[in-house]
Amino acid sequence: MSEQQGALAFGVIRARLAAVVQQLPLILGNEAVNYSLDAFRKQAWEGKPWQARKSKKDTSRSILVKSGRGRRSIRIISTTANSVTIGSDVGYMAVHNNGGEISRAARSETFVRNRFVKGTKKGKFKKGTTDGQGMSFKAYSYRMPQRQFIGHTAAFEYQMKQVVRRELIKAFKGFRK
């Protein structure tokens, strides 16, 4: 191999490596989002199941999923050449992921919610309110258990190393001296 061919081959290697390095943050970010969504499917983090709901009424749906808004909100927040940040823009998801204390202040309502008086919907709420005595609510606190779905683990780190390895192999597949 001549010196000119060697320089050309080195240039091709550099170009392929630069392309992989440029694409890796987005690829790894998508892998991290999928890893997080797997926690929702398994209803567990690192093999440890999430704590069950206290209410026995609603056992038909998954834990942490009512409308699906929180699960759908997990996405790549930012990427740089050296890092990827994933998260959620839904405020209550941080409390679910980390656990913590939820405190509600005392409040009063100076209105009454309208209800159906007759028919099959009798007693159910309908649109609107009416001025009236209303209700008062006491202050309370609630301890939310941790149900982690985003975070760093050894298994996740291993998976990310495998993705980087796979992408590098894919970039240099078919390359010959």
Q: How far apart are CA 112 and CA 121, in angstroms?
A: 17
DSSP secondary structure of 73-137 = T-EEEEE-SS-EEEE-S-THHHHHHH-EEEEE--EEEEEEEEE--SSTTTTSEEEEEEEEEEEEE
Q: Which of 108, 100, 93, 101 is nearest to 138 (CA)?
A: 108
List the chain pLDDT tens, one digit each, 177 residues. Answer: 666 666 667 788 888 888 888 999 999 999 999 999 999 999 999 989 998 888 777 777 888 888 889 999 999 999 988 889 999 999 889 999 999 998 999 988 888 888 999 999 999 999 988 888 878 889 999 899 999 999 989 999 999 999 999 998 888 786 655
Tokens encoding 36 = 């997080």
**Structure-token pair, residue 147:** 């149900």
For the entire predicted model, the pTM comes to 0.74
SS3 173: coil
